Amino acid sequence: MNYTKIIRLNTLPFAENVRVYSTDRLVVTAMAGPMDLLTPVMRVQQAEGAVSLTSAVDSWSFGQGNYLVISHIQPAMWPPKRSEPMLAIAEVVGAVALENPGLLGETVFEGVVVVNHQVIHQPNGPVRLATPTQLNPEAFSATLRRALDDVGRLGLEDLERFRLASRWYVRGLEALNPVDKFLHWYIALEVYPAMGGDVVKSIQDLLREKVYPGVDKGKLKERLQLGTICNLRGDIVHKGLAIVDLPSSPRFDQAMQRLEALVPVCIRLITGLPPGTDLDRWVLGGEQG
């Protein structure tokens, strides 16, 4: 398996491609574009109530420029932990950045690439399947206008918090790595309602005031696993938890479910929108899983 990261370099054009470092697992090459690569992808097929997954190959093209190509190579029939290639490459990138300030530009690609016609799919996170919905353009337009009108009435401070919290929420939606999702969504809660204060207390106070006035703060903390969420964030940041490998941890999965529901509820409350029922199954229904 070849897991590769490609970073644009801030340098003058190369005369030729140069391998700058290699071991039995890592190959680091300074390369000049244009260049192409193939990457495996999963396609979700849904029709008449049936769902299937198929493999496909996407083509990536990189134009004129200079690139650092870092590849982590392992035998195709030996599936590694998902964290291994990402952390090994992060080590290389960190060393390059520390020794060569200003050399690295933006990352233009990271993932598994096709080598010698071997198609290996190893996603950075679980594959999610969702039931497709029928799009009603008129209803969609009306909902969007109503939401943006509510946002437009916010004061400057609330507007800035809405924008920033929304940015981190969307980054969590886009991330495949579950730990990246977790951190992005946690940061959204630090933006609001914590606003630099205690995350657990801020959530308890907000939900009790705006959504669940009859529920004790201690029950909110217990049923939404707020303490677990904060402790997991500490484990990720301070203990070096990089990714959750299969089999997944029930503790992490349950906390993630609550965190994913907490963030949109809190962001809606910035704008005065109805909070929704995302949290009801735990707070009111007493669901444990």
pLDDT digits (tens, 9 = 90+) for 83-125: 678 888 989 999 999 999 999 999 999 888 887 656 665 555 5
pLDDT of residue 49: 65
Of the pLDDT bands very low, low, confident and very high (cuts 50, 70, 90), residue 278 is very high
Q: How far apart are CA 246 and CA 62, in angstroms?
A: 33
Mean pLDDT, residues 1-11: 91
pLDDT reading at 22 higher than 80 = yes
Residue 144 or residue 119, greater confidence: 144
pLDDT reading at 244 higher than 50 = no
* Lowest mean per-residue pLDDT among 177-181, 239-243, 282-286: 239-243
pLDDT reading at 260 higher than 60 = yes
Residue with tokens 């690569």: 37
User: Does the model's pTM come out above 0.75?
Assistant: no
pLDDT of residue 7: 96
* Lowest mean per-residue pLDDT among 65-74, 126-135, 210-219, 265-274: 126-135
* Lowest mean per-residue pLDDT among 119-123, 153-157, 199-203, 252-256: 119-123
Task: Tell me the average pLDDT of the chain.
Answer: 85
DSSP conformation letters of the chain: -EEEEEEEE-SPPPSS-EEEEE-SSEEEEEEEEEEEEEEEEEEEEEETTEEEEEEEEEEEEEEEEEEEEEEEE--TTSPPPTHHHHHHHHHHHHHHHHHSTT-EEEEEEEEEE-BTTB-----SSPPP--------HHHHHHHHHHHHHHHHTS-HHHHHHHHHHHHHHHHHHH--SHHHHHHHHHHHHIIIIITTS-HHHHHHHHHHHHT-TTS-HHHHHHHTTHHHHHHHHHHHHHS-----PSSPPHHHHHHHHHHHHHHHHHHHHHHT----STTHHHHTT----
pLDDT reading at 167 higher than 50 = yes
